[in-house]
Amino acid sequence: MEPVENMPSWMLTQTAAHAGRLVSEGFAAVGARGYHYRVLSALITDGPASQADLGRRTGIHLSDMVTALNELEASGYIRRVPNPDDRRRNIITITGHGIERAEALALQARAVQEEFLAPLDEAERAQLTALLRKLYDHHLSQGFPPLSKM
């Protein structure tokens, strides 16, 4: 039987774990975690949201969202206010400070990607992206939400 090390999905999870490690290390170096970046990024991309909505957008579990928002709020990266129209909900908004933070983390993520993808030329990168996009869209169509670090 073919060894597992030749399987594409083994290769995928190995290389992704490596990329994930590089990103985590970069984030940890500036006192951030993957959840922080995911939340700030979602707020920039899609605007203010309730906690539950943010959880749905990012794939972060609602109980972990509480912790992540507590940390981001404590550092002044987001603002959290009750929704006057529906007091079950908070409205989460990114601050100017938070935008700067997200941009700094995005720069770091890009730097990691450059290091990580160094062995591939532009054509190979485009090829890889197209193949992965095909897999990814398939999974979205099966109902799996966005998840993971970057």
Partner DNA sequence: CGGCTAACGTTAGTCTTCCAAACGTTAGTC
Partner DNA sequence: GACTAACGTTTGGAAGACTAACGTTAGCCG
Q: Which residues bind DNA (CB under 7 A)?
A: 17, 21, 24, 27-28, 33-35, 50-53, 59-67, 69-70, 80, 83, 85-90, 147-149
Q: Is 13 in the site for a second copy (CB under 8 A)?
A: yes
* Exposure b/e, 25-42, CB count within 10 A at least 16 = b: ebbeeeebebbbbbbbbb
Q: Is 146 in the site for a second copy (CB under 8 A)?
A: yes
The CB-of-76 to DNA minimum distance in angstroms stands at 17
Burial of 55 (0-12, 13-18, 19+ CB in 10 A): buried
Q: List residues binding a second copy (CB under 8 A).
A: 1, 3-4, 6-21, 23, 41, 45, 103, 106, 109-110, 112-113, 116-120, 124-125, 127-129, 131-139, 144, 146-150
